[in-house]
A and B are shown apart, each in its own frame.
Chain A
Amino acid sequence: MEHTIEVKGLSKRFTMHILNDKVIHAIQNLDFFIKEGEIVGLAGKSGAGKSTLIKCIYRTCIPSKGEIIYNSKKFGKIDLAKADDYEILALRKSEMTYCSQFLSVIPRVTAIDVVAVSLVSKGESWGNARQIAKEYLSKLGLDEELWDAYPSTFSGGEQQRINVARAIISKPHFLLIDEPTASLDQKTKDIVINMVLDLKNQGTSVLCITHDPYTMEHIADRVIELKDGKIVEPALS
């Protein structure tokens, strides 16, 4: 099967110019791949470089060295480490989504619209997009009263649901998730896990960070553990 993503020799170091050019090596020389329709779990202690790795792939961080070959459905093979900004933006719009640990939304946009906008940017009409957004939010068990409220005032769990809904509603080809089930109750956890598995069955590849053993066990086909920015053991599960 094709690899959706293939990482070769990936390193990221942060140079802090305002701290006398102090250098922090966040991740070093990583090699791994994710097959099409595979869910890879990313484990490790805080500060091991998990989030940095995901951000490098999403290109919120610029990798210092190495290649991230992404096999796009639409554009063919692209090295995400070197692709220009417009290519990245096009990919983010059409097939690669990132569900971050913290919800960062634009103030004064309703929960429905926050979720719907990812469909709208793919060309869906607002009416349809809102309809689909409602389905997702109700599946995730978000109180209907909150749909037209502003998410910045929501509790951690409620924000998390919106974050998940926003990332998976557009059925991405490649999904990056950072702690999707933290601060969720058991029932919602299962729903989220099932939703991600659903996507997997439709061919989506997933890279998922989680500290939660339950989620890891039920979601991941394979686990990669990071320690001090290096891969500990590419364990098979």
Chain B
Amino acid sequence: MDNKEWLLKVENLTKIYGEHSVNTLDKTGPLFNSNQCPETGAIVACANIDFTLHPGEVLGIVGESGSGKSSLVNLLFFDLMAPAGSACLKGYKNDNTNILEVSNQQKRFLRNHKMGMVYQNPRDGLNFRFSSGGNIAEKLLMAGNFHVGSIRERASYLLESTEVPVPRMDETPESFSGGMQQRVQISKAIANNPPLLFLDEVTTGLDVSVQAKVLDMIRRLQQDLNIAMIVVSHDLSVIRMLTDRTIVMKNGRIVEKGLTDQILQDPQHGYTQLLVSSLL
């Protein structure tokens, strides 16, 4: 079968805050129900993370707060630095270059062309001093588009497809509602047609109807543009709605991975069973 098709390969990704000893990884994790090393006090954000993402696939990462799920995507998007382990991106430098170790300039290239990120808080992904259009323009300018007319055309198209009223593109996101800010953020993230998009708790904190609208839009974009996505959420219904496969994390480790319907109906790990049985 065509298993050779992949987009992102993550191997042994580990990030530890503070000084760690040889036993740090052995004495933390779900077995100890702790991500703090008892010897040195170092915090294990995530450890030994392995997974592969296929083109156009939607992968869910679920877990309680502090489980390392946000750290994981922040590491892959270079918001957090200096992890151990490797991540390779298909189509980038012979497919076998560890993107975690390339120069800052290369990382910025990857952030602009190969990946997009949508943060829980729109303030992390948008510059509130610039207009919504300007925020999108930033991405396009970085990709070498220096034509104001075509920048505005593309920005209008993106805002339209994320259902943000185009006449408001020259306002700052400050005056927008939370759901609209989130949609502007998504427009910005997909401005250069990246093959990979990270969504970190994008609907957390939005009210139900707005949440639904944002989720609808993400799903539609995924179908239309065939973007691979990593969806981080503590909310199993978001995961169920968006993803094909799911990774369950606890204390910085992967405790279980599988098909989303399998994770929800036949969870193997005790923690996942607890999580699923807590679902309202």
Residue of A nearest to B223 (CB): A120
Whole-angstrom distance between the alpha carbons of A84 and B245 in the complex? 11
Complex contact B266–A62 (CB within 8 A): yes
**0/1 per residue, B255-268, Cβ < 8 Å to A?**
00111011001101
Complex contact B3–A86 (CB within 8 A): yes
**0/1 per residue, B205-216, Cβ < 8 Å to A?**
000000010001
Q: Max chain B CB contacts within 10 Å: which of A18, A84, A107, A109?
A: A18
Q: Which residues of chain A are within 8 angstroms of B280 by Cβ–Cβ distance? A: none
Complex contact B1–A60 (CB within 8 A): no
Complex contact A62–B274 (CB within 8 A): no
Report the minimal beta-carbon distance from B48 to chain A, rounded to whole angstroms: 19
**0/1 per residue, B240-280, Cβ < 8 Å to A?**
01001100000000000111011001101110011001000
Whole-angstrom distance between the alpha carbons of A152 and B262 in the complex? 22
DSSP class of A's interface residues: helix, strand, loop or mixed? mixed
Partner of B259, one of A14, A75, A85, A109: A85
Partner of A84, one of B3, B269, B274: B3
Complex contact B259–A60 (CB within 8 A): yes
Beta-carbon contacts under 8 Å, B83-99 to A: none
Complex contact B270–A85 (CB within 8 A): no
Residue of B nearest to A121 (CB): B223
Partner of B258, one of A17, A62, A108: A62
Q: In this assembly, does A89 line the interface, its C-beta being within 8 Å of a C-beta of chain B?
A: yes
Complex contact A14–B266 (CB within 8 A): yes
Place the interface of chain B in its size category: 20 to 34
Whole-angstrom distance between the alpha carbons of A85 and B244 in the complex? 9
Q: In this assembly, does A230 line the interface, its C-beta being within 8 Å of a C-beta of chain B?
A: no
Q: In this assembly, does B168 line the interface, its C-beta being within 8 Å of a C-beta of chain A?
A: no
Q: In this assembly, does A198 line the interface, its C-beta being within 8 Å of a C-beta of chain B?
A: no
**0/1 per residue, A7-22, Cβ < 8 Å to B?**
0000000111110000
Partner of A18, one of B245, B262, B265, B277: B277
The chain B residues found within 8 Å of chain A, CB to CB, are 1-3, 54, 212, 216, 219, 223, 241, 244-245, 257-259, 261-262, 265-266, 268-270, 273-274, 277
Q: List 28 A-B contacts (CB under 8 A).
A: A15-B268, A17-B269, A17-B270, A17-B273, A18-B270, A18-B273, A59-B262, A60-B259, A60-B261, A60-B262, A60-B265, A61-B265, A62-B262, A62-B268, A75-B1, A85-B259, A87-B1, A87-B3, A88-B259, A89-B244, A89-B245, A89-B259, A90-B1, A107-B212, A108-B212, A108-B216, A109-B216, A120-B223
The chain A residues found within 8 Å of chain B, CB to CB, are 14-18, 55, 59-62, 75, 78, 84-90, 106-109, 117, 120
